[in-house]
Structure 1
Amino acid sequence: MPFPDERRPVAVVAYRAAWPEEFERLAGRLRAALGDLAMAVDHVGSTSVPGLPAKDCVDVQVRMRSVDAARDVPLLAAIGFRCRPEPWNRTEITAGQRCAKLVFAPPVGERPCNVHLRESGGPNSRYALLFRDYLRADADARRAWGAFKRRLSVSVPDLLDYGQIKAPATDVLMGAAERWAAEAGWVVP
């Protein structure tokens, strides 16, 4: 569930050219706060794909050697980021493997974003990068995914319900992404 200041109906909007610049500003703050703990800071999710409609919420992935709540939460809390309290915000299952993660909301009143801390080399960090790179490379998949998200947001404006419906569709999309990765020889950047 979002924090009280984040509660609003889901709205999928046309791609905005400002999203990469907004990511860069967020990435700079995160790099400064995490120092060499951040092995890479990636723009992921729909706002990272030029031309793809998205919720106006920038997704950032920070690849870490390890995810350690006792260490990482205070570092990001010091710059106002809030660790999401939901039970799903400690692990996720990707490619049949339990993967460590933490997700942070922005400071109150700042641009909507989700900061995902994941272990570098983990299947969940690969998943986020493959999603982005596949949709950047395949115009037909990008158009279809954007149209699906727009229709879904109109009929299901509640964020939790939207996410629960979108998740299995994302699995279908990622099956195509895996085939593309094998054919294209894609590897994690």
Structure 2
Amino acid sequence: MPFPDELGAGVAVVGYNPDWPGEFEHLAARLHAALGDRALAIDHIGSTSVPGLAAKNCIDAQVRVAALSPELIDLLESSGFRCRPEPWNHTEVTNGQQYEKLVFAPAVGERATNVHLRVTDQPNARFALLFRDYLRADPTARTAWGAFKQRLAQSVPDLADYGQIKAPATKILMTSAEHWATQTNWTPT
């Protein structure tokens, strides 16, 4: 659930913006400054990380860490990020298994972002990278996924409802992504 300052007119999926990679780099530098070597990797994930893909104008970053800890929360909160309190922002299910994560919002008034902290060798961290790399590699899937999200946002502007409807479609997309990963011997970088 968004913080009150993040509530807007509803879900808007826009065409790809070539400024998104640079905005991610700015965010990554802030995260690195806050976390130092506790951040094993900082990845641009989600739809804004895929050139040519329509997306919500919200930069998603994944910070891969050795373990989740209260210290990480303190470090990010002291840098202005806000830990999202909802239970679904603390655990997620990937391939039928539940994994811990933490999700942070930006400070009030800053650019829309979601910062996902995940343990580096867990399947949920791999999932985010596979989603990105598959859509970067397959133009047909990328175009279809973008069109689906745009139609969904026009029909279902409420963010919670949008997410609930998109979740099962994401599972279908990721079945194709796993097939692609096997065919290409893809591994996370």
Q: Which amino acid aligns with 1:132?
A: R
| Separation in 2, partners of 1:25, 1:90 | 25
State the shift of 1:72 in Å.
1.2
Shift of 1:87: 1.3
Structure 1, gaps ≥5 residues long? none
Displacement over 2 Å in runs of 4+: none
Q: d(CA) in 1 for partners of 2:19 and 2:155?
A: 27
Aligned to 2:120: 120
Question: Counterpart in 1 of 2:21?
Answer: 20
Superposed, 1:97-112 pairs within 5 Å as 97-112=97-112
RMSD: 0.6
Matched with 2:136 is: 136
Q: Provide the C-alpha distance between the structure 1 equivalents of 2:55 and 2:15, rounded to a whole number of angstroms.
A: 7
Aligned-residue offset at 1:183: 0.2
One-letter code aligned to 2:12: A
Q: 2:65 is matched with which residue? A: 64
Aligned ranges 1:169-180 → 2 under 5 Å: 169-180=169-180
Shift of 1:45: 0.1
TM-score, normalised to structure 1's length?
Answer: 0.98
**For residues 72 and 90 of structure 1, what CA distance do their matches in structure 2 show?**
13
**Pairwise CA distance, 1:85:** 0.8
Instruction: Give the Cα–Cα distance (whole angstroms) in 1 for the partners of residues 97 and 18 of structure 2.
Output: 35
TM-score where L is the length of structure 2: 0.98
* Alpha-carbon distance in structure 2 between the residues aligned to 1:89 and 1:179: 28
Provide the rounded CA distance (Å) in 2 between the counterparts of 1:67 and 1:92. 14
Q: CA deviation at 1:89?
A: 1.8
| Secondary structure of 2:40's aligned partner | strand
| Structure-1 separation of matches of 2:92 and 2:120 | 14
Count the aligned residue pairs: 188
Cα distance in 2, alignment partners of residues 80 and 156 from structure 1: 31
Q: Which amino acid aligns with 1:85?
A: P
Unaligned runs of 5+ in 2: none
